[in-house]
Amino acid sequence: MPAEDLRDKNMEETKRKKKKKRFSYYGMRAVLVLYFRYFLLWDSDLSTSIYHAFVALCYLTPILGAIIADSWLGKFKTIIYLSIVYAVGQVIMAVSTIHDITDTDRDGSPDNLTLHIALSMLGLFLIALGTGGIKPCVAAFGGDQFQEHQSRQLNTFFSVFYLCINAGSLLSTLITPVLRGARSLSTLPEPPPPHRAPETFSTQQCGIHTQQQCYPLAFGVPAALMVVSLVVFIAGSGMYVKTDPEGNIMWSVCKCIGFAIKNRFRHRSKLYPKREHWMDWADEKYDKLLIAQIKMVLKVLFLYIPLPMFWTLFDQKGSRWTLQATTMSGDFGGFILQPDQMQTVNPILILTLVPIMDRLVFPLIQKCGLNFRYRMTRLKETMLRKQILEPLIVREHPLKRMTVGMLFAAAAFVCAAVVQVEIDKTLPDFPSSSQSQLKVVNMYGGSLGVRFSSGEPLTIHSYEASLSCSSQSSVDYLTFDQQEITVSLTTDPVITNPLRLIRGSRQTLVIPAEPERMYLEEDINSKPKEGKNAVRRAFTLSNGHQSCEFSRKFGFGSSYTFLVPADVFSSECESVKEVEDMEPNSVHMALQIPQYFLMTSGEVLFSVTGLQFSYSQAPKNMKSVLQAGWLCTNAVGNIIVLIVAELGKLPKQWAEYVLFASLLVAVSIIFSIMAYFYTYIDPAEIEAQILKEQHLDTEDEKKEKKKEETLEMQDKEVKQTKI
Ligand SMILES: CC(C)C[C@H](N)C(=O)N1CCC[C@H]1C(=O)O
């Protein structure tokens, strides 16, 4: 097979593996929180924390994978072994979700949750180890399939590689919830009945004794796909370019750095001449090549310091932006988009933006003379022509691209802030912690005057509860600074009642047909979570049940009370009164598209370029290590999100978005200054040059030695002649 074809095939194999692996990983992530919440019955906070801790672990284990690959097993074997760990983890995870294994009383719920928790934690640990460990190796292994002169193809590889990641994650985010048994896109004609939790509306159920949510399928299918991808990857073994590990490189690196620091400290007196770089203090003991390689890696790692800030903003897509979507309307006419499904916009945009940027935008920018895109081949040509062997100093373009990517992400957050301001205008005015709110609902039948009084002066004295007889109405809340008030109804005779309101809460005063039996109902004090509807029934006389069926479309995030009058048995169901406690969300989710567009454009500029950059700037034996360093920036970004979520609670959400945008702009300015002083290198050239110098040094040493020997011989001869 011709070399080019072989390489293309290798590239295909690596991409196919990547696509299935990402299906597997993102597919599992899509249902993980729900599994914690509804199967293990953890509360929302614990579920979210464990989920983020798992994601952070997945981005920390790459260091381990990289060390194993570069120092011990090589990338190919590391991918295989860690894929097995990953698949085993997923199988354990799938088994842990089978409720039947501990459901001895066959009531549909597991009886030994400890076993399920232990199994799932073990499964998740193995998955984090597997997925994180493979990550840096897959990218670097793909890059290894190209030769030095193929830098353009190498860049294309990283773009296609990124496309595959996102194709896999898009498919999984759509399919895995369906496997679990949730309706992914609810169609308008059949809104889920409001009084049941959405989880009970499954299209897919499974189980031996009882049929439940199909978590085993949701976790099992990704596991099966992982096994298939592993088999495909191994089948292509003969076609890959495999580079051997060069011993325990990480240990040598640590020892070398340690020695340089110690040696520098020992020679801290000003009497000793300075050396160009602090790593040069390892010169006495360590190989020049190793020192040069460490210098390359440290330079890039230093440049990575500001990068986690990008991921801090990027990762809020899954948290803050999804929460923002819950306060918006997802009614797209033909279908209803759930708030968390809005996240699929990111991989969809990646699939369209990467080719457009690669084939259209970057070449166009380059043509316009902005020289945005870096071309290794041309530089190399110049280097070869001019015989420049030192590292070439270029104010580097990939780094410019990454800076622009960061600015795009900051702009995305400004967009999010603008959308938030629009949403805030439509949100209900909830009472402050010292206030109480009250709404009066009249089931009495006719128009009714309501008066309020208190020991202190009241803001509201009287209120006309002109209770319309229509079945649907929306009643405004009245805000009180006092909690102890007295209500009087203008009935004949006047009915007066003391009321005790709850601080910081909303309540409804229901006036039934017999007004003296008026009573207070506690209302909800925040928008219903996840854009769902809140519906409750209140009986003006709770003396039984009547089956009245309503078919009604509720807007996103609305809240209603259905008041069932005492005479519902004798009258028709129409006498049931519907009160809108909270208006449905009116800002449309489509308004989030500009922020997703800017963020994803930023991601293409930042993340795809970062992958290429990390590969191109790493010495041959530390490619995976630098990929792991790159992935670590993501882990740190996730950890910052966790910390910020806990600590930094600004009173206004839009202000928090603006704060994050400003922070990223500041960080990108710092990064651009660092990038300006970064000297772009060609590791292969440097390594070749050092090896050549070392070779010349040994040649010189040999010649010198020979000279000395000849001189010694001559001296001996002279001495003998004298004797
Ligand atoms: C969050 C999306 C589903 C995937 C995202 N566009 C993406 O490709 N990545 C986010 C972190 C880096 C990269 C990945 O490797 O998953």
Share of the chain above pLDDT 70, in %: 78
Distance 530 CA to ligand 1 centre (A): 23
How many C-beta neighbours within 10 Å does residue 107 have? 11
Is 282 within 8 Å of 260 (Cβ atoms)? yes
Alpha carbon 99 to its chain centroid, in Å, reads 29
Distance 421 CA to ligand 1 centre (A): 28
Does the pLDDT value for residue 252 go beyond 50?
yes
Q: Where in the chain are all domains bearing CATH 1.20.1250.20?
A: 1-184+204-247, 296-359+391-426+585-706
Q: Is the peptide bond before 493 cis (omega within 30 degrees of 0)?
A: yes
In the three-class reduction of DSSP (H, G, I as helix; E, B as strand; rest coil), residue 325 is classed as helix
Identify the sign of the CA torsion 78, 81, 83, 85: negative
Q: What is the reported pLDDT for 723?
A: 66
Distance 225 CA to ligand 1 centre (A): 19
Give the closest residue (by CA) to ligand 1 atom 15. 165
Spatial separation of the C-alpha atoms in residues 319 and 327, rounded to whole Å: 13
Long-range pairs of 481-486 with CB within 8 A, sequence gap ≥ 24: 481/434, 481/435, 482/436, 482/454, 482/456, 482/458, 483/436, 484/454, 484/455, 485/452, 485/453, 485/454, 485/458, 486/452, 486/453, 486/454
Mutate to test the pocket of ligand 1, among 607, 611, 631, 636 (most ligand atoms within 8 A of CB): 607
Regarding predicted confidence, which is higher, 181 or 313? Answer: 313
Spatial separation of the C-alpha atoms in residues 156 and 161, rounded to whole Å: 8
- Is residue 595 within 6 Å of ligand 1 at its C-beta? no
> 3-state SS of the chain: helix, strand, coil percent to 5?
60, 10, 30
Regarding predicted confidence, which is higher, 29 or 585? Answer: 585
ipTM above 0.95, yes or no: yes
Q: What is the reported pLDDT for 20?
A: 52
pLDDT tens figures, 344-396: 899 999 999 999 988 888 888 777 765 544 444 455 445 444 444 333 333 34
Distance 597 CA to ligand 1 centre (A): 15
The number of the ligand 1 atom at minimal distance from the alpha carbon of 169 is 3
Does the pLDDT value for residue 229 go beyond 80?
yes
DSSP labels, 257-307: HHHHHHHHHHT-STTSPP-SSGGGGGTTTS-HHHHHHHHHHHHHHHHHTTT
Spatial separation of the C-alpha atoms in residues 330 and 356, rounded to whole Å: 28
Average per-residue pLDDT for the chain: 79
**pLDDT-based confidence at 47, cuts 50/70/90?**
confident
- Is residue 26 within 6 Å of ligand 1 at its C-beta? yes
Regarding predicted confidence, which is higher, 560 or 93? Answer: 93
Residues with Cβ < 8 Å from 188, sequence gap 6 or more? 331, 333, 334, 335, 336, 553
Residue type, 109: S
Distance 166 CA to ligand 1 centre (A): 7
Q: What is the reported pLDDT for 442?
A: 79
Mean pLDDT of 204-222: 75
Q: What is the reported pLDDT for 6?
A: 44
**pLDDT-based confidence at 477, cuts 50/70/90?**
confident
Q: Which helix (H) or strand (E) holds 511?
A: strand 506-511
141-155, 321-335, 448-462, 687-701: least confident range? 448-462
Does the pLDDT value for residue 313 go beyond 90?
yes
Mutate to test the pocket of ligand 1, among 166, 340, 353 (most ligand atoms within 8 A of CB): 166
Does the pLDDT value for residue 188 go beyond 70?
no
Mean pLDDT of 34-56: 79
Q: CATH homologous superfamily for 296-359+391-426+585-706? A: MFS general substrate transporter like domains (1.20.1250.20)
CATH of 429-525, one of 2.60.120, 1.10.1060, 2.60.40, 3.40.50: 2.60.40
In the three-class reduction of DSSP (H, G, I as helix; E, B as strand; rest coil), residue 434 is classed as coil
Q: Classify residue 323 as left (phi > 0), alpha (psi -120 to 50) or beta.
A: alpha
CA distances from 644 to 319, 412, 657, 660 (A): 12, 19, 12, 10
Give me the CATH topology for the region 1-184+204-247: Growth Hormone; Chain: A; (1.20.1250)
Mean pLDDT of 97-118: 82
Q: Where in the chain are all domains bearing CATH 2.60.40?
A: 429-525
Residues with Cβ < 8 Å from 422, sequence gap 6 or more? 587, 591
- Is residue 347 within 6 Å of ligand 1 at its C-beta? yes
- Is residue 633 within 6 Å of ligand 1 at its C-beta? no
Q: What is the reported pLDDT for 532?
A: 65
pLDDT tens figures, 156-175: 899 999 999 999 888 887 78
pLDDT tens figures, 683-694: 888 888 888 877
Q: What is the reported pLDDT for 23?
A: 60
- Is residue 165 within 6 Å of ligand 1 at its C-beta? yes
